[in-house]
Structures are given as C-alpha cells and as structure tokens.
Structure 1
C-alpha cells in the first residue's frame, strides 16, 4: 500500500517537493524534486531591412509618385541636398583637423511611421558628431518603406565626406 502526500509548493522558488512514503519493511522516505519552468516571455522583434533590400524604399518628401527606381534616385539626391544645405562645413576647419579628406559615417532607421530614429554617428571630432546629429534630425518625415505591402523599419547608412584644406 502506497500513501502519497499532497505536493507542497514553496512560494518564490522554482522547486516543488513531493514526499512519497512507501510501505516497506524498512519504511524508507524518498523525496523527489522536480523543476517548474517559468513561462517564457517572448519579445517580438521587428525586423529592420537595409534600404537596398526593401521592396519599396521610403519616399522622401517631393519624390512621391515616381517608379521604384526613380524614387531611390530621388531619395539619394534629396538626402545629399539636405546635408549640403544644413551641414556647417566650417566646423571641420575650426576643430583643428589637419589637411586631408575625412568621412563621417551616419546610420539611422526610418521607422514604420516614416520618422528618423536610432541615429548612430562616427566622426573624427565630437563637434562634427553634434553637427551631423543636428542635420540628420532636420530630415523631414518620409512615407515609410514597405515590404509585402506592409510598413517596415528601414536602415539607411549616410556617409558624409569632406575636405579640410
């Protein structure tokens, strides 16, 4: 004959203890421990697609109604024009960089609402990073990029090259 006690759950732990008493000549007690797995919290991570891989690139204001190929060309032209108009190139002269060619690497996400976010900048001087950040934040909102007719986050890399004389 077996007598089984009710399982006891100990709060704030992951272990349940269950005591089983076996009716044998020696009356031995055996304890079995089993692990309770905590429920997993699954975080849905939205995929970010590089601009060269997205089916429909984001549309820069003023590039609406163009074919996909023309939209991409227009996008590049408008970004370049925006940087040329708003970037204060005199800062490069003022920070004491020696003569030569320099590059600022900028990467950002155009989110599902068409807003520039997650800006990352690598520049040869902190003042140039701040100036680049200011310029990127002034980029107008886009019509978002699309994959399978659904708005998606699109990653864009913007290299800015300049010369110090």
Structure 2
C-alpha cells in the first residue's frame, strides 16, 4: 500500500503547539471536579514507556517525541479517504487516567471537509493503541491528565 502523505510533517509542526483548548487561570483551578489536569500544566507529566530514565525537566519533550513515533508507526491513510481525496485537520482528545491507561478518546474536525469522520476514526484508532504509561502527578498524587493531539491529513 502506498502512503502518500504530508501527514507526519503536519503532525510534528503541530504537536508542540496544542495540548488542550481549555483555559486555566490559577493554580487552584488546575484540578477540576474530576481531578484532571491539562498536560501543559501538570507538575509531573505522564511517563511514556521509554522515558523513565529521562530527567524530570525533559520528560514532556520525551513524551511528545514518543507520541510522534507512535503515530508514525501506527498511521495508515484510510484507503477510502485516499480514493475520495479527503484531507483535513483533526484533533484527538483523551485522558491518561490515574492508572496510566488511555480513556475517553474523542476526535473532532478542525477544518471543513466532507466525510471527515473517516479521518476522525483513524485518529481514534491510533490513540487507542497507545501503551499504558506511568500516570501524571499533581501535588505528588496520581491524577487524570487531559491531552489533545492534532493530526493533519494531507495527500501529496
């Protein structure tokens, strides 16, 4: 199968920009009713397998690098989307729970396109394959961590 994409470049360029769309103003507001914390604001980020021996201040960058590697490894441009020349920007949102498992995966389209559900399903499929992680911590306690991963589907 031929993979004709600029997907990875778009992913790398966007991955460092967007963690979530929620705005949190004070330290007291960081933990919500569900005790979930935005990835960009967490004191101790979840540890992606392979980042265990990385210094604390470099774990966010390691997490993002491992996320990009995971997406590259698991990405397949949907055939139907290729045939129909469907392209678009998708954001997948999910939670890394207190046990380090991935839950509540959703995806939504950021750009107008027909049949973008095909691309949303691919983003959800990729995120659902993420490995179990060491959970993030806030004030020394494991918490749910919200994460948003942008995807840019483009055909060459």
Shift of 1:102: 2.6
Q: Does residue 137 of the first structure (1) align with residue 128 of the second (2)?
A: yes
Which aligned runs of 4 or more in structure 1 are off by greater than 6 angstroms? none
Which one has a bigger Cα radius of gyration? 1
When you count helix as a share of all residues, which structure comes out higher? 2
Instruction: Name the structure 2 match of 1:22.
Output: none
Check conservation: 2:102, 2:132, Cα contact below 8 A. yes
Q: Which segments of 5 or more consecutive residues in structure 1 lack a partner in the other structure? A: 1-43
Q: Using the alignment, how far apart are the partners of 1:145 and 1:129 within structure 2?
A: 26
Q: Using the alignment, how far apart are the partners of 1:82 and 1:116 within structure 2?
A: 14
Shift of 1:96: 3.0
Q: How many residues align?
A: 119
DSSP 3-state at the match of 1:164: coil
Shift of 1:156: 0.4
Q: Using the alignment, how far apart are the partners of 1:54 and 1:162 within structure 2?
A: 29
Pairing partner for 2:49 from 36, 57, 61: 61
* CA shift digits 1:51-82 (9 cap, x unpaired): 01110000000000222221111100110111
Instruction: Name the structure 1 match of 2:108.
Output: 122
Check conservation: 2:78, 2:118, Cα contact below 8 A. no
Check conservation: 1:49, 1:153, Cα contact below 8 A. yes
Shift of 1:122: 1.1
Shift of 1:90: 4.7
Instruction: Name the structure 2 match of 1:112.
Output: 98
**How does the TM-score come out when normalised to structure 1?**
0.66
> CA RMSD, aligned part only?
1.8
